[in-house]
Amino acid sequence: MKNECEFCSFKSKAALMLSDGEIGRLSDNCALVKLNKGDTVIKQGAFSTNVVYLRSGLAKIHISGPYYEQIVRIVKPPSYLALPTTFGDKINQYSVTVIEKAEVCFIDMIIFRYLLSINPSFSYEIMIELCRNELEVFYRCANRTQKQIRGKIADLLLEMSDQIYHSSLFSLPVSQSEIGNLIDASRESVSRVLTEFNKEGIINMKGKRIEIENRNTLLLISSNG
Amino acid sequence: MKNECEFCSFKSKAALMLSDGEIGRLSDNCALVKLNKGDTVIKQGAFSTNVVYLRSGLAKIHISGPYYEQIVRIVKPPSYLALPTTFGDKINQYSVTVIEKAEVCFIDMIIFRYLLSINPSFSYEIMIELCRNELEVFYRCANRTQKQIRGKIADLLLEMSDQIYHSSLFSLPVSQSEIGNLIDASRESVSRVLTEFNKEGIINMKGKRIEIENRNTLLLISSNG
DNA sequence: TTATATTTGTGATATAGGTCACAAATTCAT
DNA sequence: ATGAATTTGTGACCTATATCACAAATATAA
């Protein structure tokens, strides 16, 4: 399916830098795909000639660790994926899997690199994204290490509510095991803490639906260990 | 002190992409500084208008975490630092401190961005570096989480020997507390493991001098937890 | 070189969070 | 809707590693 990028209402900040002609080139080499929860967007180790633009939905980035698959971060749109594939060798260095019904554009890598080479503003915006990613991982790194489980879960809930869903009521896009994997804790501990928070009236949880009832207490727990 | 970049024998791969004229521009806006262990290269929170090129020596990147300063990685040359400052706001988002006598070039950010905008090959190489950084943090992330202390220290020793010093005999550039901070362990545990390795004949340690005696066992421990 | 500050080694003890096991609840596919 | 598969809740128990507390060893500065 061909995407009409010129009329796309989910353009990335970088894509806004492109001229009409450039957008046309992009459009001709870009395929929009709708994906469901669990679908693989990028498979680590596979050969690829595409950059992927996450246009809507949610995905997780995970890599194969020494003992098991490790989720390294949740990605929300707008976001470019597989950039290391574009710039390094053509083998995907991590996997990306949809965790919430997503629209994704597969962009031919040659065109993407061509656009980078002729449009410095486009290139500049992509660099900003790369830097932001790096900083985010740094920040997570310190957080993962220094906080205890209650703090890490409080953080995650606040992030979901503030950064991802922009609402105090949302449905967790991942299982408790995946949360555990992401924040470096066992599934059982995640369950225990979530239940605690529920009993303490901090959140109201039924199934995967969560409503944050007491944001301030979460903030407190987040900065307490 | 003005640096004569055209004659620099420690050029980055990116800098090799620059034309003579471009190198000249760089040279005019670049200051070479020699720094000692403990010297601050970049201070998180401070305003900056420079990119920093690590030309020789070693440095650590650390950020302020929720409870204490967290070392996120050791940087070896050639490497550009403070790129997020260049691309985002002008405030440094992390600190960089020298851990082994270093030479560093402070490059005016305006020139750096100018070169990026006119030279796509230069820009391309910088993007490769940004991507490599991201992947490296992903990898570390999985490692830190999934391995036990012996495995993490084995990894660190192998990295020092293979990646940093290219020799089985080297002197640790950081204290055991810093190692603990980097691999997410207490100083005491680091000491115990290093002592164990020493007694087990895997390494030969006196003071900060370490010689790797049994590389294979280290590899084994590294992939064992 | 000498004094001072920092780093390291090691035993004793404490604990956060992991692991196991199984029942209950949800979610998914037909 | 219905049965199968997955996810969640929770008690009992375990363990890797943190903490504490010093003494010994090294590194640093005067």
Whether the CB of B180 is below 8 Å from some CB of chain A: the reply is no
Q: What mean pLDDT is predicted for residues B203-225?
A: 91
- The closest alpha carbon to A124, from A7, A15, A24, A8, belongs to A15
Measure the CA–CA gap between A113 and B80, rounded to whole angstroms. Answer: 22
Residues B134, B183, single domain; the answer is: no
Measure the CA–CA gap between B181 and B179, rounded to whole angstroms. Answer: 5
Residues of chain A in contact with residue B140, where contact means CB-CB under 8 angstroms, are: 141
Q: What mean pLDDT is predicted for residues A195-209?
A: 95
- The closest alpha carbon to B203, from B195, B213, B193, B194, belongs to B213
Contacts across the A-B interface (CB distance below 8 Å): 140
Residues B33, B131, single domain; the answer is: yes
pLDDT at site B1: 46
pLDDT at site B188: 97
CB–CB contact B135 A87 (8 Å): no
Q: What mean pLDDT is predicted for residues A81-92?
A: 90
Residues A152, A129, single domain; the answer is: no
Residues A78, A41, single domain; the answer is: yes
Measure the CA–CA gap between A189 and A180, rounded to whole angstroms. Answer: 8
Residues A15, A81, single domain; the answer is: yes
Residue in A63, A131, A141 closest to B72 by CB:
A141
Amino acid letter for position A1: M
**Separation in Å, CA of A180 to nearest CA in chain B:** 11
Contact between residue A183 and residue A153 where contact means Cβ atoms under 8 Å apart: yes
Q: Is residue A142 part of a domain?
A: no
Residues 6+ apart with CB under 8 A from A172: A160, A179, A208, A209, A210
Residues of chain A in contact with residue B139, where contact means CB-CB under 8 angstroms, are: 63
Q: Is residue A113 part of a domain?
A: yes
**Exposed / middle / buried, residue B213 (Cβ in 10 Å: 0-12, 13-18, 19+):** middle
CATH of the domain at B214: 1.10.10.10
Cis preceding-peptide flag for A84 (omega within 30 of 0): no
Contact between residue A37 and residue A45 where contact means Cβ atoms under 8 Å apart: no
Residues B163, B68, single domain; the answer is: no
Give me the percent of chain B exceeding a pLDDT of 70.
98
Amino acid letter for position B23: I
What residues make up the domain containing B86? Answer: 5-140
Contact between residue A111 and residue A18 where contact means Cβ atoms under 8 Å apart: no
Residue A204 token pair: 């109201």
| Listed residues A73, A105, A135: the one ending a domain | A135
CB–CB contact A120 B116 (8 Å): yes
A159-186: pLDDT as tens digits: 999 999 999 999 999 999 999 999 999 9
B137-147: pLDDT as tens digits: 899 889 989 99
DSSP-based three-state secondary structure for A210: strand
Q: Is residue A141 part of a domain?
A: no
Give residue A79's pLDDT band: very low, low, confident or very high (50, 70, 90).
Answer: very high
| Listed residues B118, B140, B162: the one ending a domain | B140
CB–CB contact A123 B123 (8 Å): yes
Q: What mean pLDDT is predicted for residues B186-200?
A: 97
Rounded to whole angstroms, the distance from the CA of residue A130 to the C1' of nucleotide D25 is: 46
Whether the CB of B145 is below 8 Å from some CB of chain A: the reply is yes
CB–CB contact A94 B131 (8 Å): no
Number of neighbouring beta carbons within 10 Å of residue B223: 13
pLDDT at B210 over 80: yes
pLDDT at site B221: 95
Residue in A68, A126, A130 closest to B146 by CB:
A68
Q: What mean pLDDT is predicted for residues A83-96?
A: 91
Give residue B2's pLDDT band: very low, low, confident or very high (50, 70, 90).
Answer: low
Q: In angstroms, how far is CA B75 from the centroid of its own chain?
A: 0
Whether the CB of A144 is below 8 Å from some CB of chain B: the reply is yes
Residues B119, B134, single domain; the answer is: yes
A112-134: pLDDT as tens digits: 999 999 999 999 999 999 999 99
The residues close to strand D, meaning Cβ under 7 A, are A 172, 175-177, 187-188, 191-192, 194-195, 205, 208; B 37, 148-150, 180, 184-186, 188-189, 206-208
- Counting every residue written for chain B, the total comes to 225
Rounded to whole angstroms, the distance from the CA of residue B199 to the C1' of nucleotide C16 is: 30
Whether the CB of A33 is below 8 Å from some CB of chain B: the reply is no
What is the spatial order of strands in the sheet that A203-206 belongs to? A169-171, A209-212, A203-206
What does the DSSP assignment read for A44-76?
A: TT-B--EEEEEEEEEEEEEEE-SSSEEEEEEE-
Residues A127, A173, single domain; the answer is: no
| Listed residues B105, B122, B140: the one ending a domain | B140
CATH of the domain at A54: 2.60.120.10
User: How many CA atoms are closer than 13 Å to the CA of B106, on its beta-carbon side?
Assistant: 12
Q: Is residue A92 part of a domain?
A: yes
Residues A26, A109, single domain; the answer is: yes
Residues B110, B201, single domain; the answer is: no
Residues of chain A in contact with residue B147, where contact means CB-CB under 8 angstroms, are: 66
pLDDT at site A2: 53
Q: Is residue A164 part of a domain?
A: yes
Q: Is residue A32 part of a domain?
A: yes
pLDDT at site A3: 59
The residues close to strand C, meaning Cβ under 7 A, are A 37, 148-150, 180, 184-186, 188-189, 206-208; B 172, 175-177, 187-188, 191-192, 194-195, 205, 208
B19-65: pLDDT as tens digits: 999 999 999 999 999 999 999 999 999 999 999 999 999 999 999 99
Q: Is residue A140 part of a domain?
A: no
pLDDT at site A223: 86
Contact between residue A211 and residue A161 where contact means Cβ atoms under 8 Å apart: no
Query: How many separate domains does chain B show?
Result: 2
Q: Is residue A29 part of a domain?
A: yes
CB–CB contact B137 A141 (8 Å): yes
Residues A152, A190, single domain; the answer is: yes
Residues A120, A173, single domain; the answer is: no
